[in-house]
Structure 1
Amino acid sequence: MLYLILSVGLLLIIGLFMVTVFNRFVKNKNTVQDAWSNIDVALKRRYDLIPNLVETVKGYAAHERSTLEDVIKARNAAMSVPSEDINAQIKAENQLQQTLRSIFALGEAYPDLKANTNFIQLQEKLNEIEENLERSRRYYNGTVRENNTYGESFPGVLFAGMLNYKHFDFFEAEAESRENIKVDFS
């Protein structure tokens, strides 16, 4: 009888431990997805702004067609990634960020464009969106760090496969987006 009570007690303790680990995985995943939804809102605002920015630049730098087409392609590619695939979305956003930087490099090359009030307003609005994205990105990366650390450390690592642990990528600027863009009009 004592062995039965001890066995049931041990099974109960293991069961409670498993429930606690499972709940932590669920909490971490939901926190990461909530943090990503904040980024997603800012990204949608940026997507809406890009066509206006491209149209404004088009009037001043018509022969820069390939740059403008690259921006639209990158925007469309980023918009077409399913919102559930956060890791793929991050890669697409880094590509879009790179192409957006090339538009602002055009602004430096064309003084009339740089002085255009519409371009200035769009640039200011995009800067505001980028600041919001930066704050959201920091929060997201913090939640990803917590999720990934728990899933890769003890006791989470013991149950990660069994409980469908999901590893998330950090949302960081890629190495090439940290370099200055060189514009050559020779």
Structure 2
Amino acid sequence: MDWVLWGGVALVVLYGISVYNGLVTFRTRVNQAFADIDVQLKQRHDLIPNLIETVKGYVVHERGTLEAVVETRNAALRAQGPADQAAAENALSGALGRLVALGEAYPDLKASANFQQLQTDLAEIEDKLAAARRFFNNGVAEYNAAIQHFPAVIFAGLMGFRQQVFFDVGETQRQALETPPKVAF
């Protein structure tokens, strides 16, 4: 009888270890996917000063737009976690959209090879960022499902596994992302 009891305890412990390892794997994927988003955001943030400097030489009366881009970029750099970063990046995307739209109002700027290259670089980064967000959100969905499945749900809470938040770009950005960014020359 003791062997049966110890055998049952051993099976429960082994199953707990298996569940824990599986959940750690899912959590690690989510963390890696978030780091991938961070890399793309850093590239985007690094591109912005070049874009501002290029635009600054052509647009004299658009100081408010330039300041808005700088301010939202700084807010995006300070944001922590998926929810805060998504909100900050939404604001930055709007400001960047206004900045890039200046190219239409200033033909000399639109014709600038440097501005055109920066627009192309920005469009490429936005595409990579969208892919990184999809990968992250997929990882979050798998992780959240894994910690909710029975009997893993029993162990997950006890072992400190909590729901993760999706990187939500908001409804306005979602609609904008459905159509790829256009680079007009």
Q: What band does the TM-score fall into relative to the shorter chain?
A: 0.7 to 0.9
Distance 1:178 1:145, change over 3 A: closer
**Structure-2 separation of matches of 1:155 and 1:95:** 41
1:167 is matched with which residue: 145, 163, 169?
163
Q: Is the 8 A contact 1:144 1:169 kept in 2?
A: yes
Bigger mean CA offset, 161-170 vs 141-150: 161-170
Please state if 1:127 is matched with 2:123. yes
Distance 1:77 1:164, change over 3 A: same
**Structure-2 separation of matches of 1:70 and 1:16:** 55
Bigger mean CA offset, 122-131 vs 59-68: 59-68
Q: Is the 8 A contact 1:29 1:166 kept in 2?
A: no
Segments of 4+ moved more than 4 angstroms: none
Question: 2:95 corresponds to which residue?
Answer: 99
Q: Is the 8 A contact 1:148 1:168 kept in 2?
A: yes
Q: For each residue in 1:16-38, what CA deviation from the matched residue of structure 2 results, as whole angstroms up to 9, or x when unmatched?
A: 11111111111111011111222
**Structure-2 separation of matches of 1:172 and 1:86:** 8
Q: Which runs of 5+ in 1 are unaligned?
A: 181-186
Q: CA RMSD of the aligned region, Å? A: 1.9
Q: Which runs of 5+ in 2 are unaligned?
A: 177-185
Q: Is the 8 A contact 1:87 1:168 kept in 2?
A: no
* TM-score normalised by L of structure 1: 0.85
Give the total of aligned pairs: 176
Distance 1:36 1:178, change over 3 A: closer
* TM-score normalised by L of structure 2: 0.85
